[in-house]
Amino acid sequence: MKVLIVRPEPGASASAERARALGLDPIVAPLFTVRPLDWRAPDPADFDAVLITSANAARHAGPALNAFTRLPCHAVGETSAEAARDAGFADLRIGPSDGAAAVAVMKADGVRRAFHPCGRDRVALGGDGIEIADCPVYAAEAVEDLPPAAEAAIAEGALILVHSPRAGALLGALATEKAHADIAAISDTAAEAAGAGWRSVHVASRPRDEALLELAAKLCQIEGHGPQS
């Protein structure tokens, strides 16, 4: 069965590769284009740690991030950790789920102030004794209309992989043939953002691309009907 991948590149291609390895037929049609932003680095001495919640932050921050690589880096998930490692961070702590969980781990480690290179559109984190200093280093620019490949896949009843709440909200706003398609979301929040009207909505067991693809493979094994709720 076809699965529609709408996350930005290079993550979309990575998901497509995993999908093919599981015997799925991926269609890649990103809803966002990622680009770096100009930013001014604060003084690394003001921070106890760095928080990386998206691999795009490490990929697009540029040389200015080098000044922070001696600090402990708390990364959300293996993909973010790999990008942080490629950016030069050696002391990596990989969080089990999301940004809020990473902040909880930092607080337990005694971090009082963390530098957070992030996207222009982001979820606020911190509080309760720990300060997270957000610094937008990239932007994910949304499409104005569904890519033709995405529109066709939805009309044909594809299983759509939703990797973030922002992607879910945009997809829900742009799609007109919801009753023909199914959603596999990476989290409850992403599923809720996609809204109502879909044939069925399912949530991965863990907020990871690997878990989302495992869910997709399981759903697509239901012969003759496509995913069922």
* Span 3-52, pLDDT tens digits: 999 999 999 999 999 999 999 999 999 999 999 999 999 999 999 999 99
> Residue 187 falls within a domain, yes or no?
yes
pLDDT tens track for 147-187: 999 999 999 999 999 999 999 999 999 999 899 899 999 99
Q: Are 99 and 134 in contact (CB under 8 A)?
A: no
Q: Are 57 and 137 in contact (CB under 8 A)?
A: yes
- Same-domain check for residues 52 and 112: yes
- Same-domain check for residues 74 and 24: no
- Same-domain check for residues 46 and 135: yes
pLDDT tens track for 85-121: 999 999 999 876 688 888 989 999 999 999 999 999 8
CA–CA separation, 207 and 172 (whole Å): 20
Phi-psi region of 120 (alpha: psi -120 to 50; beta: other; left: phi over 0): alpha
- Same-domain check for residues 46 and 63: yes
pLDDT tens track for 184-217: 999 999 999 999 999 999 999 988 899 999 999 9
> Residue 228 falls within a domain, yes or no?
no
pLDDT at position 221 is 84
CA–CA separation, 2 and 154 (whole Å): 10
- Same-domain check for residues 51 and 98: yes
> Residue 110 falls within a domain, yes or no?
yes
Element of type H or E holding 211: helix 209-220
CA–CA separation, 136 and 72 (whole Å): 20
pTM: 0.85
Domain containing residue 78: CATH number: 3.40.50.10090
Q: Are 48 and 71 in contact (CB under 8 A)?
A: yes
- Same-domain check for residues 160 and 102: no
Residue labelled with tokens 């799925």: 24
Domain that holds residue 177: 2-33+145-220
pLDDT at position 222 is 59
Residue 43 CA, chain-centre distance (Å), reads 28
